Amino acid sequence: MARETNQTFIKKKEEVKHQWFILDATGQTLGRFAAEISKVLRGKHRPDFTPHVDCGDGVIVLNADKIVVTGSKRQQKIYRYYTGSMSGLREIPFHTMQARKPAYIIESAVKGMLPKNRLSRGLMKRLRVFAGSEHDMDAQQPITVTM
């Protein structure tokens, strides 16, 4: 009599088919929205998720300039980077960054939520953020998702 085995399903890199989704950031809270994006990029929304394989999908974010933060983060949140020269620490508040580079706000939030390993660099390449409501990603045949 043959025994039935319940083995864990492990997806291979060659079997992965990537889809693209369009998400609208209008009125969305930054942290919660970034968590949903990172979940889709990583592939955790799929039933065949495998942690060590890049099995996620691509995400197109529209209206990044209309993202919302709660509380007093609009005045207190600061983005820091270092230029490399002495006393080269630059600090830019949230409201200034939202006016200058609204896409950077979402990209940095999503990057912080992804694992710090080799996979995350490939995952970030499938994230496209646009400040307006127009995009040039029609060739990927994206699916519009409402949240």
Query: Please, what are the averages of pLDDT over each run of 10 residues along the chain (147 residues)?
Result: 71 92 97 97 93 94 97 96 96 97 97 95 96 95 92
d(CA 79, CA 127): 20
CATH of 24-69+103-144, one of 3.40.50.300, 1.10.3330.10, 3.30.230.70, 3.90.1180.10: 3.90.1180.10
In angstroms, the Cα distances linking 75 to 9, 18, 92, 136 are 47, 38, 11, 33
pLDDT at residue number 2:
58
* Domain range annotation of the chain: 24-69+103-144
d(CA 43, CA 32): 17
Report the 10 Å Cβ neighbour count for 104.
15
d(CA 37, CA 45): 10
pTM over the 0.85 mark: yes
pLDDT at residue number 4:
65
